[in-house]
Amino acid sequence: MKTTLSLHGQNLSLLRFPKLPKETLQAWDAGDEYIIDHFQDAPLEKGKHILILNDQFGALSCWFSKDYQVSMQTDSHVSWQGSLKNLQRNECNQVQLLRSTDPLPEKVDLVLMKIPKNNRFLVWQLSQLRQHISPDVEVIAVNKANLIHTSTLKLFEKYLGETRTSLAKKKHRLVFSRADKTLTATSEPSISWDVPEHDLKLENLPNVYSGESLDLGARFFLEHLPSSDRGLDIIDLGCGNGVLSAKIARLNPNAHITSVDESFMAVESAKRNIARNLGEKKRFTFRANNCLDKFEPQSCDLVLCNPPFHQQNTVTDHIAWQMFTDSKRTLRKDGELWVIGNRHLGYVAKLGRLFGKNNVKVVASNSKFVIVRAKKAVISK
Ligand SMILES: C[S@@+](CC[C@H](N)C(=O)[O-])C[C@H]1O[C@@H](n2cnc3c(N)ncnc32)[C@H](O)[C@@H]1O
């Protein structure tokens, strides 16, 4: 696996975040290289302000910070941390890092975009750009050619402006567009829907997981969550819109709930949904974080987790595994991790390896999902 990006006389040492002992994936892709190559043919005057959207681990930010003023906006805490570490590793010039919930910066001369997986987020970013940048600012977006569909280009045409594409190179394609101020289509800043059987109304910012309807796993999990009058410390790990946080808070009226997600929009949605559905703030904490990095060991009694199995376009179970090991470390003795997953993901066996077979029980299952409870029986690492 390569960790040095060497192009046009510039070398960058780039690692993914978090750093895994047996990492097999690179911290940049051929799409990043295509954008960099493009500037050899069509250079931009040095010192101009480039806005980079959705840089995954900071390859573009590092590269362009050498000659340009760079702002990078992301919805991902993991990308933020990865970019920051790579910028430091390469002693790059300062880059302004922005969350997806921050306003776009002023006076941008060029926009570079890694096209996000989620179309609702793409539409939101395109309509933000159209309202924010002037028509003479070029937007250059990139993705794998097989992920740029006619429908993707239609979204660019509808929400940003006239759009054309490049030839494919190393299976990637560039998309060129500019803001057309005569267009009127806008994207809703959030959408809301009800879960009447649990008396919940949920607001979802554009990049929230399952933002258009309740996740089927979450729906099943909601029916089986534990309740207690004790003053437990509970963590909703990978909280998304906070649906599990809201329900567990109602079932455990004296508990303190910490809602954690790596998506800034998820954390903001969870915060709004707790305020809206529970009308209280005191017993809640919201944190954008990578799993439970830097959480105090033995500091909580219950972790709820509906883990992801994708990181951007990459299918992976390393995040679920990190969530499980972090949970074990963060639980007090006799504390419990409750996990929901598709049956085929084999969580019973995985949790058995971590917590000991006898400490893992199936709470409920149906044809698709299984809910597993793992108890921390002994104090260990
Ligand atoms: C399957 S969704 C579950 C969302 C919500 N809890 C539900 O049940 O509908 C998994 C969540 O994990 C979050 N996530 C992904 N990687 C993460 C990480 N490294 N640290 C924390 N959260 C992460 C995703 O943003 C997503 O919101």
Q: Is the CB of 210 within 6 Å of ligand 1?
A: yes
Annotated domain spans of the chain: 4-177, 191-375
Question: Do 142 and 34 meet the contact criterion of CB atoms below 8 Å apart?
Answer: yes
pLDDT confidence of residue 22: 87
pLDDT tens readout for residues 260-313: 999 999 999 999 999 999 998 899 999 999 999 999 999 999 999 999 976 555
pLDDT confidence of residue 280: 86
- Long-range contacts of the stretch 149-156 (C-beta < 8 A, 24+): 152/115, 152/119, 152/122, 155/119, 155/122, 155/123, 155/126, 156/126
CA–CA separation, 376 and 381 (whole Å): 11
Q: Is the CB of 218 within 6 Å of ligand 1?
A: yes
**Residue 290 Cα to ligand 1 middle (Å):** 10
pLDDT confidence of residue 110: 98
Q: Is the CB of 239 within 6 Å of ligand 1?
A: yes
Low-confidence ranges of the chain (pLDDT < 50): none
pLDDT confidence of residue 17: 95
SS3 173: strand
pLDDT tens readout for residues 323-338: 999 999 999 999 999 9
pLDDT confidence of residue 309: 75
**Residue 57 Cα to ligand 1 middle (Å):** 19
pLDDT confidence of residue 241: 98
Atom nearest to 215 CA in ligand 1: 9
User: Quick one: which H or E segment has residue 250?
Assistant: helix 243-251
Q: Which CATH number fits domain 191-375: 2.170.120.20, 3.40.50.150, 1.20.1530.20, 3.40.50.10480?
A: 3.40.50.150
Structure-block tokens of residue 265: 């929009």
**Residue 339 Cα to ligand 1 middle (Å):** 12
CATH 3.40.50.150 fits 4-177, yes or no: yes
Q: Is the CB of 222 within 6 Å of ligand 1?
A: no
Q: Is the CB of 242 within 6 Å of ligand 1?
A: no
Question: Do 133 and 99 meet the contact criterion of CB atoms below 8 Å apart?
Answer: no
pTM over 0.85: yes
CA–CA separation, 211 and 194 (whole Å): 12
